Chain A
């Protein structure tokens, strides 16, 4: 059984982002870039399934400019068997990403596809659901537990939903998107980083996959959120209660 994992290169989660003065976006030059944290969790889950003997191969896919290869190398150092890079300089929205992934699914024929539930840059939370729709595969989004039954060819997924936890059982092939509590991703060790250098990364262009990149969205501007006006420090519980009652009038 083969598992495919989609990984995205994003501004590192610890970087304090800056909006560009011309409002065209967020500054990404000379900024530390890393693998999206939810994608790390997705890859970790795939590796654990392979290590338990229930899958034979983990293929990592990334899309975007040349530098995505660095992110793929990180994934290979974590333990993915090989990589696929769909290279394009064009802005990719989730619908295009989902179509490119569908084309790769037709080539690679994985039984499970694991993605992060959202990327921490655009916070879209769409790609996994859209891909599942395009493929007509069942989906288990926002997963906090994944149990694969290879005999029955099904996967049981605990999902984090507004009301608590929901459990679904999906026939394979299936799409899973990961939530934060699914696992703790591993760090790549130095020997594995060295080994990753000789692993194969296959390149595709969107044209080779017969996917036309078009967009029905246009970014008008990116701005900073309004600042909250600075508050006051109070020195006692009595003063706090007084302020809430008589100044803010909320209790």
Chain B
């Protein structure tokens, strides 16, 4: 088998979710050569390539596509890049992490290659059998891919954690340039990147944090939500929110945890004023330890919580802030 991993990079390194995609490739077969495909432009791409070359012991080569056309993560040129690299390399599998980047590009590339992708995979049993959640995680579907190569997957990075010992490689894998001479121009100008607005924070990334503190509608307003941020800071945690909290304007959309937001599986998940709607549970039910604080003892969140506390969050959070040990 040979696998192409479509990787995302930021600030000169490969994103942790993309390293999880390399990890997932391990489960397809013992004998699998993994190529990482990186694209973009400028010096940070080169840096990311060096990181990619030694980010995981399974990596056998890094394919680098340096072009102005790939400066932004636009689906149109990127899907065509995947198509081009596949035509040259004839990989048996193509994997990306199922973040907004992979979900946007991989199905488009699959259509160009005339194959059905399998999205949001949480378990790999052999080279063509996969488990993915359906109905917001209320059922698990085992599917078999019976089509021709490549078999294309997006994987949930929370289901393929990378052990810290796996993180190193004794020698770096070779970095090769992708020949873009046949990349073409047609249709490329039809979509233009305008801008990205995001809140830069010092906090850990929601998708990969060890601890996540989440607030729901129970916080009542944006001002109160700052209590969640304070507690998160104390715990070295990422901040999450429910759809209700995002819709009400307490916090921006990128903090939403749930079926249509981010999927998280931290070691510790603490939910304040969260009722536990199905679509929220879909995004956090795989957390190792779940704590729920809600004044309604009938809230569905208590059914999935390992530790539940019925109480007023406006009293509980200040008490926690006072009594919790400082994160080292």
Contacts and interface: CB of A to CB of B under 8 A. Distances in A.
Interface of A: 11, 16-17, 19, 26, 93-95, 98, 117-118, 120-127, 129-134, 136-142, 144, 156, 159-171, 174, 179-181, 215-225, 228, 230-238, 240-241, 243-244, 248, 250-251
How many B residues are at the interface, by size bracket?
35 or more
Contacts of A231: 290, 302, 304-308
Contact of B119 (A126, A132, A251): A126
B166 interface: no
Given A167-B195, A251-B235, A228 B285 contact: yes
Contact of B309 (A167, A240, A250): A240
A99 to B, nearest CB: 9
B140 A223 contact: yes
A250 B303 CA distance: 20
Contacts of B308: 231-234
A129 B133 CA distance: 20
A32 to B, nearest CB: 14
Interface in B160-196: 186-187, 189-196
Contacts of A137: 190
A216 B147 contact: yes
B283 to A, nearest CB: 12
Interface of B: 74-76, 79, 99-101, 103-112, 114-120, 129, 132-148, 186-187, 189-199, 207, 211, 235, 243, 246-247, 252-254, 259-260, 262, 267-268, 285, 288-291, 302-310, 316, 319-320, 323-325
Given A224-B139, A234-B309, A243-B307, A166 B195 contact: yes
Contact of B142 (A163, A164, A221): A221
B253 A219 contact: no
Contacts of A241: 320, 323-324
Contact of A162 (B254, B268, B306, B325): B254
B258 to A, nearest CB: 10
B112 A218 contact: no
Describe B's contact surface by its main secondary structure: mixed
B116 A129 contact: no
A169 B100 CA distance: 18
Contacts of A251: 211, 235, 268, 324-325
A237 B143 CA distance: 45
B198 A165 contact: yes
B268 to A, nearest CB: 4
Given A163-B198, A219-B141, A220-B143, A138 B118 contact: no
Contact of A166 (B147, B196, B325): B196
A133 B79 contact: yes
Given A216-B147, A244-B307, A180 B243 contact: yes
Shortest beta-carbon contacts, A-B, top 4: A216-B147, A164-B198, A133-B111, A130-B111
Contacts of B323: 237-238, 241
Contacts of A98: 111
A116 to B, nearest CB: 10
B142 A121 contact: no
B317 to A, nearest CB: 9
Nearest to A165: B197
